[in-house]
Amino acid sequence: MPEGGIIEVLVENVPAGGASPADARVRISIRDYGCGIPKEILPRIFDPYFTTKPGKSGLGLATAYAIIAKHGGHLSVESKLGYGTLLTIDLPASQQTPAPDAPSVARVQIGTARILVMDDEDALRKLLKTALAGFGYDVQTARDGAEAIALCETAKSSSRRFDAVLLDLTVSSGMGGAEAAVRLKELDPSLKLIVSSGYSDAPVMADFRRYGFDEVIPKPWTLAEISEVFRRLLVPDPQRKAN
C-alpha cells in the first residue's frame, strides 16, 4: 500500500478438529486492502529471490515460511487484485500438560549430517540455516571461502567434520567458491561440495565435477530444490547400493 491504508491483525484459537487436544492451533491473520497480488505470481511468492520490487532481496517471505515451518506451522496467502491480501499463519497451540516427545524416527537418516553454508548474503545464510535445521541438519555458515576453510579445519581437528558444504561461486569480497573448493578437497577429499550461482553460463556451473564439486544448483532455487540436492548427497539410496 504505497499511499498508506489499513492493516488488520487477528489472533484466535482454533479448537482441535479431532479427538486430540494437540491438534489445536493458534491462528494469526494479517489482512490489507491494497492492490493485491496477481494470480500468476501467487505460487512463487515464497520462493527465495523472487520479488517484484526493485532493490529488494526477495528473501522476506521465504524466511518467514521457513521459520514458521520449523515450528510446525503453516503460512498461506489469499489475494485478489484490487481487493487486497490475506496472510494466515497457523501454529500448534501450547498445551499445559504436553505429551512426552515421540522418538524422532523421521529424522534419523539425515539428523547426523553436518552442513556448512558459504554465502555473502546475510539474509540468505539465515534463511538456509533455519530451513536446513528444520530438515534435521546441523548447520553452520560462513561469509566467504576463507572463513569456510577455517571452519572446516577446526571441525576436522575436533573430530566433528562437515559432511557437505554449499559454496556460492562468486562473493562480493574475499575468496569465492571455486578457489575454496580446491582447498577444501585437499583438506578432506570425502567432503561433499555443492556450487550455487546466479551466473548459469559460468564454466564451473556447466562442468562442475571438473572443478571438484559433487552437485550444482543454480540461483534462484526453491527450498524444495535445495533440500533435494542435500538428500541426494547425504541420504543413502538402497537401490544405488544394490546396483
Domain architecture of the chain: domains with CATH: 7-92 (3.30.565.10), 107-242 (3.40.50.2300)
Does the global pTM surpass 0.85? no
The backbone region for 212, taken as left when phi is positive above 0, alpha when psi lies in -120 to 50, beta otherwise, is left
Element holding 61 (H helix, E strand): helix 60-70
Q: What average pLDDT is seen over the chain?
A: 85
DSSP class of residue 22 equals G
pLDDT value of residue 24: 86
Residue 212 and residue 210: Cα distance in Å, rounded?
6
Give start and end residues of each alpha helix (H) in 10-77: 60-70
Give tens-digit pLDDT for 98-121: 555 544 333 333 456 899 999 999
CA atoms within 13 A on the CB side of 210: 6
C-alpha cell of residue 134: 528444520
Give tens-digit pLDDT for 2-47: 667 789 999 998 887 765 556 888 999 999 988 898 989 888 888 8
Residue 200 and residue 211: Cα distance in Å, rounded?
15
Phi, psi angles (nearest 5°) of residue 27: -115, 130
CA 33 to chain centre: 30
CA atoms within 13 A on the CB side of 44: 12
Give tens-digit pLDDT for 209-237: 999 999 999 988 888 888 889 988 987 65
Give tens-digit pLDDT for 45-90: 888 888 887 777 788 888 888 889 888 899 999 999 888 999 999 9
Angle at 181 between CA 177 and CA 182, to 5 degrees: 130
Nearest of 57, 173, 42, 199 to residue 124 by alpha carbon: 57
Residue 70 and residue 135: Cα distance in Å, rounded?
8
